[in-house]
Amino acid sequence: MATSTDLPGLFPGTMQVLAALQNGNIELEGQFLNSSNYTFLGQLAYEGDSMRVVYKPRKGEQPLWDFPVGTLTRREAAAYLVSEWLGWQLVPPCIYRTRKTPLGAGSLQQFIDHNPEHHYFHFSDEEKQQLKPMALFDLLVNNADRKAGHIFFDDRHHLWGIDHGLCFHVEEKLRTVIWDFAGQEIPWALLEDIYRLDGLLIKDSPQYLELSRLIRAREITALRKRCQLYLKSPLFPYPPDDRRPFPWPPV
């Protein structure tokens, strides 16, 4: 895993990146037209440095029947927090920003340079073996939309996942392309991280209170139940046969 000082970009560490995301000036460069919700690429300037960011305004979300209206961008930021508290650094730094944004409140995330053509369906067998933390992360956050293009390696071969707006539902929603490890035991080191996360999210802890500003209390409870489920039964599950287990489109 990369350390905080290894994050791509001009800012030398996670805290500096988060400060920039919260306080930097944003200038939009263009829009990602293949996204179902409004998603923009921008340039962020802060204290003499700059970096590219992905901005998703809340009012650009398309309403969904099964997720509360206006909550998807908050879920993006919540996924980042969970990734960090696990110690896995799978999600690029992301915040929910409410002020001095071009189109109102929304998520702001560091853009990671990568080759968009090299995604899950093009990974080597060796690269796919590195996906266990990502597969487990998606189980914990209940990711309903893990497409192949949402997983990539940067130029240092650090693994990243993006687009976490459809996470943390209280009902089982997992839809993912990563079913490579079905039936396999979850590595002990990852279970230790899950055990630590579950302990951090006890009610009224600093982590609980921070996460509760982004997702609902019952969604945090459901997250803890999923942690406890895999601690008790430490196996990667098989795809369910009573609902669609894969995203559409798959890339």
Residue with structure tokens 């905080």? 4
- Check whether 7 has a pLDDT greater than 90: no
Residue 250 DSSP SS3: coil
Looking at the domain assignment, is residue 237 inside a domain?
no
Domain presence at residue 248: no
Query: Which residue range is the domain that position 154 belongs to?
Result: 4-232
How high is the pLDDT of residue 9?
Answer: 42
3-state DSSP assignment of residue 95? strand
Q: What is the mean pLDDT of residues 29-42?
A: 91
Residue 167 and residue 37: Cα distance in Å, rounded? 15
Residue 54 domain-assigned? yes
Residue 209 lies in a domain: yes
- Reported as a pLDDT band with limits 50, 70 and 90, residue 173 is very high
Q: What pLDDT was estimated at residue 13?
A: 66
- State the total domains in the chain: 1
Q: 61 lies in a domain?
A: yes
- Does the pLDDT value for residue 123 go beyond 80? yes
pTM exceeds cut of 0.85 = yes
Tell me the pLDDT of the chain averaged across its residues.
93
Residue 109 lies in a domain: yes
Q: Is 128 within a domain?
A: yes
What local confidence, expressed as pLDDT, does residue 215 receive? Answer: 98
Assess contact for 185 and 234: CB atoms under 8 A: yes
> What single letter denotes the amino acid at residue 228?
Q
Give the CATH number for residue 97: 1.10.510
Q: What percent of the chain has pLDDT over 70?
A: 95
Whether 100 shows a pLDDT value over 90: the answer reads yes
Task: Report yes or no on 120 lying in a domain.
Answer: yes
Rounded CA-CA distance 128/113 in Å is 20
Q: Which residues, in sequence order, are CB contacts of 82 under 8 Å at separation 6+?
A: 137, 140, 141, 197, 211, 223
